[in-house]
Amino acid sequence: MFKTVRFAKVAFFAACLALALCLTAAGLASETHIDACTWVYLRDEPATCVKGAVRIYQCSVCGRTMEEAMGEPDLNNHAWGEWIVDNQATCTTAGERHRQCVRSVHHKQKEVIPALGHDLKERIKVPATCTSTGLKEQYCARCGLVIDTQVIPQGDHVWGPWTVIKEPTCTEAGEQTHTCTVCGTKQNAVYGNALGHLWGQWQVIKAATCETSGSRTRVCQRNAAHVENEVIPAPGHKWTDWKVIKQPTFWEQGQRERHCTVCGLSQTENLDTERWNATVCSFGPELRSSNLYPNSTDKWYMFTPFDASMNGVQTYDLIASEKIIVGQVTLTIRDGFLTVDYTLKYPNQIQITLEFFTVLGRIGELNSYEPEGLMQLKINRNQPINLNEQFPGDTHLVLYFCSRCSVVNRPYQYAMLNIKDSIHQSQLSQMMMLMD
């Protein structure tokens, strides 16, 4: 313990001696002070607008500080004070202000204060009413300048309730009015729609007959002055169906009659000799008498077998329903191509109304067919058809010319078919030999 106390005393004495030397040196020249102190790094201070950066040391014995220059002043590192307004900005002109660096009176900064612009508000100068327009203006609340003036549209009337001043009639709508409670203006408008007439029952003044018109009248139940007259049309006769009292022949008119079930009037008319939709065929065997196909049509229609291997022109008569020779059909065969054409003996009296003809490979295809049933096989007049393509290797063919004709007027000269004459007998014999 004695050694510990003695050592503490020695340490305390040494510290006091060092402090005395440091304080003594501080009163002398700075170099002597610096050399005498024990310096320790304390901090770095950045450069300012008036002083460069410095590093600060502190004596660990006496506590004094020392600065060491580290660079040049930073002219941008100011310590600015508050802004001072030199000229106030207005709505339309800019202002000005400045501030001073607290480190140096020589460092000042000036700045323009932008113009404030107008503080726009709106106010009504003259209020609008239901009879006149108003006025409003746009102004600056800061400087009082009026920027714009606008018209306020006239306001709406404040209408009172509607009052009926005229009730609707049969032909006219009614009328109503109302008044503005502010200015007293009146306004009229339509009230309801025209009612229309409320007619009573028709009263017949004159009854109509089958051929003459009658008349009738009626009165409006709302207004007796409103009267409507109307013609009753003649209804016409109510005819029975026509009854033939004389049958027409091919060249002689017939007669038919009918009568009205109301008035009993009779009417007679002639049945014309016209034969609409009569059939016309090229000469050949008849389907109903050929005895080849029992189920064939029972009509007199003819078909024309021909030899397609013979180049040249073949002609056959055209026969109408009553066995009248009305024209001629021509078959022209050249190098395997067939062309069909025909002429009429009485073009002003006999007209073809439905033209149909075709060429078939065998007569069996005609079994139970009417002309319309073969329409899909129709060939055109004077248009060549290639027989070698349609009927390869087959030269015994059938022309089925079965058109419709009408006889408008009786021909002055006409020829009836005589199937027993030598020409037709020869043609028919050749045709029968070609049938397979």
Is pLDDT larger for residue 329 or for residue 361? 329
Alpha-carbon distance of 31 to 17, in angstroms, equals 20
Strand ranges across the sheet with 227-232: 203-206, 214-219, 227-232
Going by pLDDT thresholds of 50, 70 and 90, the confidence category of residue 353 is: confident
Radius of gyration of the chain (CA): 67
* pLDDT tens, residue by residue, 189-203: 999 999 999 999 999
- Work out the pLDDT band at 188, boundaries 50, 70, 90: very high
Q: Are 299 and 281 in contact (CB under 8 A)?
A: no
The conformation of residue 171, written as its DSSP 8-state character, comes to: S
Indicate if the alpha-carbon torsion angle 10, 14, 17, 23 is positive or negative.
negative
Q: Which of 310, 395, 315 is nearest to 359 (CA)?
A: 395
Q: Tell me the C-alpha to C-alpha distance, in Å, between residue 298 and each of 279, 291, 343, 435.
A: 14, 11, 27, 20
Which pLDDT value is given to residue 275?
A: 56
- Mean pLDDT in residue range 82-108: 88
Chain-wide mean pLDDT for the chain? 82
In 3-state terms, what secondary structure has residue 186? Answer: strand
Q: Report the percent of the chain where pLDDT is more than 70.
A: 82
Average pLDDT of span 42-50: 82
Ranges assigned E (strand) in 74-153 = 84-87, 95-100, 108-113, 120-126, 134-140, 146-152
Residue pLDDT, tens place only, 285-343: 887 776 655 555 567 788 899 999 889 999 999 998 768 888 999 999 999 999 999 99
What pLDDT is attached to residue 417?
77
Which residues have CB under 8 Å from 89's CB, separation 6+?
Answer: 95, 113, 114, 115, 116
pLDDT for the residue 81? 87
- Structure letter (DSSP) for residue 401: E
Q: What's residue 297's pLDDT?
A: 59
pLDDT at 333: 95
Domain ranges for the chain:
205-232, 243-273, 276-434
Q: Which residue has the higher pLDDT, 174 or 277?
A: 174
CA 38 to centroid of chain Cα atoms: 101
Tell me the pairing of strands 52-59 and 39-45: antiparallel
- Tens-place pLDDT, residues 97-131: 999 988 877 888 899 999 888 999 999 999 988 88
pLDDT in tens, 382-395: 999 999 998 888 88
pLDDT band of residue 16 (cuts 50, 70, 90) is very low
Where is pLDDT greater, at 216 or 33? 216
What average pLDDT does this structure show over 361-367?
Answer: 72
